[in-house]
Amino acid sequence: MMKFRSLAVSLALLAAPAWAQDLTIGYLRLQETPPPTVSDLDLPPPDLGIAGARLGIEDNATTGRFTGQTYALDLVDIAPGEDIAAAAGPLLERTDLLLVDAPADALLSVTDLPAAADALVFNVAAPDNRLREGDCRANMLHALPSTAMRTDALAQFLVLRRWDELPMVTGGDPADQAFAASIEQSLRKFGLRVGDRKDWRYDTDIRRAATTEMPLFTQEFGRYDALIVADEIHDFARYMLYNTWEPRPIVGSEGLVPTGWHPVVEQWGARQLQNRFLEIAGRAMQPRDYAAWAAIRTLGEAATRTGSAEPEALRDYILGPDFELGGFLGRPLSFRAWNGQMRQPIPLVHPRGLVAQAPLEGFLHPVTELDTLGRDAPETQCTDFSE
């Protein structure tokens, strides 16, 4: 009996990988106070992003049971107004693999810490184009689509439908202004332009007067193909649907919306991911959840393929030509070597269904059509990734 037991132990040791590892991944979240809006229907769930990371850890653990790797999530939650850089220091002493869930400036304060110089940081919350351009960092990768990727997806749809009379209404929040600027750039990129533009500056409760105020506000646009709305904080634009002077589609922040992820995405095995997320979170998966899940899975895939937990080795593999991640969006996900942005298709959705998924047919690229969304290599202003 002892002889057979010794043989079994020997075989188990031979089967175990020689590079068994424990990987701790930090999740650093700066809680934000939502900007004041007319409605509170869109308050973020308390575990936004974190739930996606937890599902990613579970998925990594499934593979890790066969490769000898274990994964743990080290969550650091920071109250609004507190110093995220100060909180990042102790976390960086425990791990050099980080997900940061914070606005752009707070994110940069973490990536620029001396202790983070050799770390690998994933941006899972800040869509700002500048983080992929002049404010890019060599130690920072982006699992959330840039605003430019979303607006390019919308512009492709408008071109395909031949909608070229396109007025725009823009809110006053900085996120609204950034989205509007990106829309204008995307339309120029694909041969269109914004028509008349009006700013929404009302601070009254539009819910009581939408049926009278919205027709008057949009009357001067005349006839058009679609109305673009830049309302990223979801304050006023929801009340424009079915209340415009002309009965026309609304696109942008409401109506037809380009997004990184949505519950209506069900093809390509996405329903399985949606159901597993629902089981652990009790709610639908949102774009920030998907970005956190994709970042965790990226680290897991890279660690499995390289047999390393070192940030430099993982980064080199992730940015290399061999990395691919199944993301349930119909095409493998990968990362752009010139700015660290994750390539992914962009669903174009309304609240009840998927309308299209960009890149759309006819928009060609010499390497991959996914690079028609966002800044391509010849366009980039990011220099930190150049060799």
pLDDT at 14: 37
Q: What is the pLDDT of residues 183-205, one digit of tens each?
A: 999 999 999 999 999 999 887 77
Mean pLDDT throughout 356-372?
A: 96
d(CA 223, CA 241): 16
d(CA 34, CA 43): 8
d(CA 10, CA 7): 5
**Confidence at 284, pLDDT banded by 50, 70, 90:** very high
Q: Is 0.95 topped by the overall pTM?
A: no
d(CA 212, CA 292): 42
Q: What is the pLDDT of residues 84-121, one digit of tens each?
A: 999 999 999 999 999 999 999 999 999 999 999 999 99
Helix (H) or strand (E) holding 198: strand 197-199
Q: What is the pLDDT of residues 297-315, one digit of tens each?
A: 999 999 999 999 999 999 9
**Confidence at 5, pLDDT banded by 50, 70, 90:** very low
Q: What is the pLDDT of residues 323-345, one digit of tens each?
A: 999 999 999 999 999 999 999 99
pLDDT at 207: 81
pLDDT at 203: 74
